[in-house]
């Protein structure tokens, strides 16, 4: 099987509860056991957790150590996960970075012109504001419709902080 076929196979196999288990392993960043997975995801039985952990192992995404703990062998970006960046234990939406960058660039430009008592170029401000606005709009709508942080597949793992950053973990 080629790498393209393997990617397509993973894309079609990692969904629903298997995606929830993968998401839990990604957030944990450490080996996890069957019962730990069952409890964390409120599954009906350990055999359900075992089935999905084994499914991830068969897909080549996870491995099992000598004591029966599962850990991620490789991180894959399937489905909605393609829209996120992982930094340590935080999993943040990509549009968040675009919004922060464009807003900061606009503010630096306006402050620089104000300090130098120069004339603000309307075109620069308009394009900066449009780019920044679109980025923040995309971030907000993706988060509010449930696409952000996999709210449709992983219930109850997101929370919006006062500064508007989506932390994709239970706190």
135: closest CA among 167, 168, 107, 93?
93
- Which pTM value belongs to this model? 0.56
**pLDDT tens track for 85-121:** 777 667 777 788 888 999 999 999 999 998 888 888 8
Contacts of residues 6-11 at CB distance under 8 Å and 24 or more positions apart, as own/partner, are 6/60, 9/59, 10/59, 10/61, 10/76, 10/78, 11/78, 11/79
Question: What pLDDT does 23 receive?
Answer: 81
- Please state the domain extents for the chain: 3-72, 82-167
Spatial separation of the C-alpha atoms in residues 76 and 158, rounded to whole Å: 20
**pLDDT tens track for 3-22:** 445 555 666 777 788 888 88
Helices 94-115 and 122-144: crossing angle in degrees, nearest 10, is: 150
- Look over the chain and give the mean of its residue pLDDT values, rounded to a whole number: 76
Return the top range by mean pLDDT from 7-16, 26-35, 52-61, 134-143: 52-61
Question: What pLDDT does 11 receive?
Answer: 66
CATH of domain 3-72: 1.10.10.10
């Amino acid at each position: 099987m080629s790498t393209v076929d393997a990617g397509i196979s993973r894309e079609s196999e990692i969904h629903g509860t298997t995606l929830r288990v993968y998401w839990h392993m990604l957030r944990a960043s450490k080996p996890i056991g069957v019962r730990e997975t069952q409890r964390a995801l409120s599954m009906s039985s350990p055999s359900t957790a075992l089935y999905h952990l084994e499914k991830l192992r068969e897909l080549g995404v996870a491995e099992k150590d000598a004591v029966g703990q599962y850990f991620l062998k490789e991180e894959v970006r399937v489905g909605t996960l393609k829209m996120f960046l992982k930094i340590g234990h935080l999993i943040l939406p990509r549009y968040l970075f675009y919004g922060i960058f464009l807003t900061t660039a606009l503010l630096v430009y306006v402050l620089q012109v104000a300090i130098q008592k120069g004339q603000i170029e309307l075109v620069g401000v308009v394009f900066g504001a449009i780019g920044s606005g679109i980025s923040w709009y995309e971030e907000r709508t993706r988060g509010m419709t449930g696409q952000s942080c996999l709210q449709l597949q992983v219930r109850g793992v997101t929370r919006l902080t006062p500064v508007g950053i989506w932390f994709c973990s239970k706190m």
